[in-house]
């Protein structure tokens, strides 16, 4: 976020704020370009004024081409943004929560291990697939680590606007985080979506881990039980004309409903057993969705997000947007689509200022801007080619 003017020397304040603004822009550009799927961008408390990092620490050249794009926005930041004290003009409403430690517990959980899955491909599916699919919903979305939940910055800057929280691979959830989920996240009408086997690993005081089949039921509040043997986790999604497939090999453990409890809606069934695979229940304070199927498509995430009250910025399938920083960015994710994008803002803004467009903002040295609209709650972009990025600054009324 932009710093608040507390220094009496305006030159020092301007320099510091421009540096902070550029740092946020760098993070946002990388996040958008990588569809929010890069775990090495999670340094939530790394800016401003801290030694945060944005690309792989051991491969600084990886992101050098994207760094150059921030130059196109420096003059905009110098002329406009340094005077603003609230840079999060469009809030994040969907958070994907992933755990970088949980993959180490897969063998302990009885999950896919060599030779069935020697490269832990299922771990990648469980982690990256939700990120790529959520990024294409056109909703305000960002990825966080499970350990981020207890950070002050998450609780004050991110949580208030969240409407949908997706737990991708939270096999082991520490007691403090479990408590925080129950007392805070599961409030305010939010929707919590858990995938596969949440909370199924326990660790004792000496570090020994064990599988707990009652863990998913405990964290979700749903009567979930472990299914027998292994399952491919392939599921038919109700309301769609064609089936969606998960990994073809058998996976264990897998979970389903115990009987037909009242108040629980079945959204999808496993193809092999016809047992419930994706279920939903409203608890009053919050709604829980459990998905034993790990490869939900964008359309299903979009449907769940809309039901959770998420504001969809874009209606075009497979486009990517990024919010929560100094600007709104749009990436044309569809490799076949040459078209303008309709942007629906969550409220009315004083003006929308567009920077240069084209792949990675086109000319990195460009500083020209254009007022897209004034006093508006939506606008239309210029025609975007596949892979193009458009950057827009939103001014408050």
Q: Are the C-beta atoms of residues 137 and 120 closer than 8 Å to each other?
A: no
The Cβ of residue 260 has, within 10 Å, a number of other Cβ atoms equal to 9
User: If we measure between CA atoms, which residue out of 6, 31, 16 comes closest to residue 327?
Assistant: 31
Q: What is the DSSP letter of 300?
A: H
Question: What pLDDT sits at residue 76?
Answer: 53
What pLDDT, on the 0 to 100 scale, is given for residue 383? Answer: 83
Count CB-CB contacts under 10 A for residue 68. 14
Q: Does domain 94-307 have CATH number 3.40.50.300?
A: no
Q: What six digits make up the tokens of 328?
A: 């709104």
Q: Quick one: pLDDT at residue 21? A: 55
Higher pLDDT, 263 or 89: 263
pLDDT at residue number 216: 96
Mean pLDDT, residues 236-242: 62
Inter-residue long-range contacts of 239-248, CB under 8 Å, 24+ positions, other chains counted: 239/303, 240/299, 240/300, 243/271, 244/293, 244/295, 244/296, 244/297, 244/300, 245/295, 246/125, 246/293, 246/294, 246/295, 247/112, 247/121, 247/122, 247/125, 247/294, 247/295
> Would you place residue 8 in the very low, low, confident or very high pLDDT band (cuts 50, 70, 90)?
very low
Instruction: Identify the pLDDT of residue 45.
Output: 40
What is the distance, to the nearest Å, from the Cα of residue 253 to the centroid of all Cα atoms in its chain?
Answer: 26
Q: CB–CB of 306/160 below 8 Å?
A: no
User: Rounded to two decimals, what is the model's pTM?
Assistant: 0.80
3-state class of 255 per DSSP?
Answer: strand
| Residue 82 structure tokens | 């340094």
Q: In this structure, what token pair is assigned to residue 60?
A: 């600084």
Tell whether the model's pLDDT for residue 170 goes beyond 80. yes
pLDDT digits (tens, 9 = 90+) for 353-384: 876 544 333 444 444 567 889 999 999 888 88
pLDDT digits over 317-338, tens only? Answer: 778 887 766 678 787 777 788 8
Query: Which span out of 46-55, 242-251, 292-301, 380-389 was modeled with the highest average pLDDT?
Result: 292-301
- What residue segments make up the domains of the chain, in order of their start? 10-90+313-395, 94-307
Is 4's pLDDT higher than 70?
Answer: no
Q: How confident is the model at residue 82 (pLDDT cuts 50, 70, 90)?
A: very low
Mean pLDDT, residues 212-227 taken together: 95
Cβ-contact 36, 144 below 8 angstroms: no
């Amino acid at each position: 976020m932009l710093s608040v003017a507390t220094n009496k020397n305006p030159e020092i304040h301007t320099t510091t704020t421009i540096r902070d603004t550029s740092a946020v822009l760098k993070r946002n550009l990388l996040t958008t370009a990588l569809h929010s799927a890069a775990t090495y961008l999670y340094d939530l408390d790394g800016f401003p004024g801290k030694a945060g990092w944005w690309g792989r620490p051991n491969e600084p050249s990886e992101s050098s081409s994207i760094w150059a794009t921030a130059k196109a926005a420096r003059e905009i930041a110098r002329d406009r943004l340094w005077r603003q004290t609230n840079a999060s003009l469009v809030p994040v409403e969907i958070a994907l929560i992933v755990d970088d430690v949980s993959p180490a517990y897969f063998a302990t959980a009885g999950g896919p291990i060599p030779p069935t899955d020697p490269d832990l491909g299922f771990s990648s599916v469980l982690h990256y697939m939700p990120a790529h699919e959520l990024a294409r919903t056109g909703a305000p979305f960002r990825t966080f680590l499970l350990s981020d939940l207890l950070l002050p910055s998450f609780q004050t800057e991110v949580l208030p606007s969240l409407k949908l929280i997706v737990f991708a691979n939270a096999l082991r959830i520490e007691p403090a985080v479990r408590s925080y989920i129950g007392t805070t996240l599961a409030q305010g009408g939010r929707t919590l979506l858990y995938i596969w086997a949440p909370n199924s690993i326990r660790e004792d005081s000496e570090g020994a881990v064990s599988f707990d089949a009652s863990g998913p039921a405990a964290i979700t509040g749903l009567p979930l039980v472990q299914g027998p043997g292994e399952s491919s986790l392939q599921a038919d999604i109700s309301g769609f004309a064609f089936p969606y497939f998960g990994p073809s090999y058998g996976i264990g453990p897998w979970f389903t409903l115990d009987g037909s409890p009242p108040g629980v809606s079945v959204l999808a069934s496993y193809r092999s057993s016809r047992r419930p695979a994706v279920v939903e229940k409203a608890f009053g304070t919050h709604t829980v969705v459990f998905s034993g199927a790990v490869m939900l498509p964008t359309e299903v995430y979009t449907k769940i997000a809309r039901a959770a009250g998420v504001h969809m910025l874009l209606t075009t399938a497979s486009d990517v947007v990024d919010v929560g920083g100094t600007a709104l960015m749009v990436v044309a994710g569809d490799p076949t689509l040459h078209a303008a994008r309709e942007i629906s803002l969550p409220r009315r803004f004083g003006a929308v200022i567009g920077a240069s467009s084209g792949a990675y903002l086109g000319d990195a040295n460009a500083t020209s801007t254009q007022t897209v609209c004034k006093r508006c709650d939506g606008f239309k972009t210029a025609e975007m080619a596949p892979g193009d990025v458009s950057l827009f600054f939103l001014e408050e009324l």
